[in-house]
Amino acid sequence: MGKVLVTGGAGFVGGFLAKALAAQGDTVHLVDNLARGRRDAFLIELLASPNVRLFERDLLQPEALSDLDADYTQVFHFAAIIGVQHVLRRPYPTLRDNVLLLDTAIAFARRQPRLRRFVFASTSEVYAGSLELGMLPIPTPEDTPLAVAPLDQPRTSYMLSKIYGEAMVRQAGLPFTIVRPHNFYGPRMGMSHVIPQLLERAHRAAPGGILEVFSVDHRRTFCFIDDAVEMVVRAAKAASCEGQVLNLGHESPEITIGELAETIARVVDKPLTIVPRPATPGSPTRRCPDMSRALASTGYRAEIGLEEGLRRTYAWYRPMVFEGGEREVAT
């Protein structure tokens, strides 16, 4: 048991991570400005735990955490501008603010004499430039050389902010672990991601109707949030993960977005015709992590299959969002 800080703690991954840490007995402090989230039922229930507290702060302010104690044992930095649509609309703030958010978190971590680990959430997007140049092995190991995509592409801003962030963490003098999430999904992830968007279109479609699918031939692997959080928690504890960069996700099955849509149609129990639409600008054609290092370091392999994870996700979205109205939930 320890005392941990989770930035972006009211968001999707941060919230489920905080819940898991609290369940194992840690004192868990969340930091979030609630810009893209709110005090929904999940967060209210989480904050009812006696060992969980939320600090509503803006990490773009360098002194945002100056009044917090200096006895934290772990810092998990998950606060960031994410989501393809948000990044495409705001490339410059994405590049600037993600770096500033991390700088505030690192400064806070540096004044924690008991700190055992600083965990930085990077992204699988760091591999996109290497893929574009034909340099990317699939499945992709963490030591793959990183190439930069064209700088005039808005989506490149997010990749650059995370590559720069990885360099900051490496040079900060902290005991660190860098994780590169690969397509985490599950309840409460907001609506700016492919799985909830396809679930909503399928939910609202008439039986025998159509399901429009963008980037239909692009290939991905997906990892349910419960598996993802277990990997993060284990990586933060394992001595072998200190100073390491780890892919987090599922290595298989690698499926097309069209196949994902077909599975979603089964989950919502409707016969639907998949109608291909253009590829999303800047979307990588493939994304599949080599999970050998993470498995060797944490001893954990993702267990929840895609269809089971989609059913759990739909079971939450249907009453809470599609029929309930909680659209801006978390990131």
Segment 134-153 shows an average pLDDT of 95
| Residues in Cβ contact with 44 at an 8 Å cutoff, skipping those fewer than 6 apart | none
Cα separation of 106 and 54, whole Å?
19
pLDDT (tens digit per residue) in 95-134: 999 999 999 999 999 999 999 999 999 999 999 999 999 9
> H or E segment at 75?
strand 74-77
pLDDT (tens digit per residue) in 19-30: 999 999 999 999
Residues paired with residue 32 on neighbouring β-strands, in sequence order: 56
- CATH, domain range 3-186+224-251+288-304: 3.40.50.720
Alpha carbons within 13 angstroms on the beta-carbon side of residue 126 total: 27
pLDDT (tens digit per residue) in 148-200: 989 998 889 999 999 999 999 999 999 999 999 999 999 999 998 999 999 99
Residues paired with residue 247 on neighbouring β-strands, in sequence order: 180
Judged against a pLDDT cut of 50, whether residue 140 lies above it is answered with yes
Pairing of strands 255-256, 219-220: antiparallel
Which pLDDT value is given to residue 89?
86
pLDDT (tens digit per residue) in 235-281: 999 999 999 999 999 999 999 999 999 999 999 999 999 999 999 87
**Strand stretches in the chain, DSSP E:** 3-7, 27-32, 52-56, 74-77, 117-121, 176-181, 184-185, 210-214, 219-220, 223-224, 244-248, 255-256, 273-277, 286-287
pTM above 0.85, yes or no: yes
